[in-house]
Amino acid sequence: MKRFVIYPGSFDPLTNGHVNIINRATKCFDEVVIAVAVNSNKNSILDIDERIRTIKEVFKKNKKIKVDRFEGLLVHYAKKKRIKTILRGMRTVQDFEYELQMARSNNILDPEIETIFMVSDANYSHISSSLIKDIIKLGGVAKAFIPKIVENELKKKLKKKV
């Protein structure tokens, strides 16, 4: 029986921390579905299609990774995909409280859903999307924090806004 997991998020932008967790998840699961959230309440730098395109490019050589989009409740998406496991990454202690609340809520909405947590590698625990956006807006190089293709896309977008 194949083991599937959904790794949901906005991925605006995809960071090296995300990449690390996704690559580690492929060692535990037969297929990792990166579910990119369509969130109209969030002021994203990259639109949903740009995020999906760049994520697919980063993982194009790994057949165990699929990229998809979802809108609405994650548990509805999981049910539609027939996947009962959600993977969440945690960088800091502050992430734990939020992630625990989300995991518990998802389990109440669908008792078949299980959430597992993967702790970020220490090399990536300091990375946040706001940090990356600030680095690029201020003319810095973000290659230590994000894949090159993501950096290129962010630079294009942020230069237009300046």
| pLDDT at 40 (0 to 100) | 62
Known catalytic residue: 18? yes
Domain with residues 4-126, CATH architecture: 3-Layer(aba) Sandwich (3.40)
pLDDT tens figures, 11-46: 999 999 999 999 999 999 999 999 999 976 667 889
pLDDT of 162 over the 90 cut: no
pTM confidence score: 0.93
Active-site entry in 44, 51, 88, 91: 91
Cα pseudo-dihedral 86, 87, 88, 93, rounded to 10: 110
Report residue 144 as tokens.
Answer: 């230590």
pLDDT tens figures, 49-107: 999 999 999 999 999 999 999 999 999 999 999 999 999 999 888 888 899 999 999 99
| pLDDT at 128 (0 to 100) | 86
Active-site entry in 42, 76, 143, 148: 42
Active-site entry in 18, 44, 51, 120: 18
Q: Any idea where the domains of the chain sit in the sequence?
A: 4-126
Known catalytic residue: 42? yes
CA distance 26 to 132: 26
Known catalytic residue: 44? no
Known catalytic residue: 3? no
| pLDDT at 160 (0 to 100) | 59
